Amino acid sequence: EVQLVESGGALVQPGRSLRLSCKGSGFRLRDYAVTWVRQAAGGGLEWVGFIRATTHGQTKKYAASVEDRFILSRDDSEGVVYLQMNSLKTEDAALYYCTKGFTDHFAFSVSWGQGTLVSVSS
């Protein structure tokens, strides 16, 4: 069974950093693109960004709202994808979902984790 587990969510002050992790099981995470999607409380889905598989150069794309602050990376030896979030703003507060892409290239979300909660407040 395909499973994705996010971790690292926490309450942080504005301007601070946080790193989220995503670990997959039931499949080889290294073979797939991984996308992060977030959802603010009571809100809709917001695409954050994707990282393609190493076979596609680990190409990364980000939403304009997080570009230059968030960084995606992957450790294929550990089967983990990371979302480094810097200079956090109050509007970054959300439930962050890690999702498995369709293939190593096509990054639309096929399977979803349960999410990890990020709160940003002073």
Binding site for another protein (CB under 8 A): 35, 37, 44-47, 49-50, 61-64, 97, 102, 106-115
In angstroms, rounded to a whole number, what is the distance separating the alpha carbons of residues 8 and 82? 10
Residue 31 or residue 46: which is nearer to another protein going by CB? 46
Shortest spacing between CB 108 and another protein, in angstroms = 4
Is-contact 22 6, C-beta < 8 A?
yes
Identify the three-state secondary structure at position 24: strand
Shortest spacing between CB 50 and another protein, in angstroms = 7
> Amino acid identity of 100?
K
Is-contact 98 34, C-beta < 8 A?
yes
Shortest spacing between CB 86 and another protein, in angstroms = 19
Residue 13 or residue 59: which is nearer to another protein going by CB? 59
* Cα–Cα nearest to 36, from 76, 72, 74, 11: 72
Residue 14 or residue 63: which is nearer to another protein going by CB? 63
Shortest spacing between CB 61 and another protein, in angstroms = 4
In angstroms, rounded to a whole number, what is the distance separating the alpha carbons of residues 95 and 28? 24
Residue 14 or residue 56: which is nearer to another protein going by CB? 56
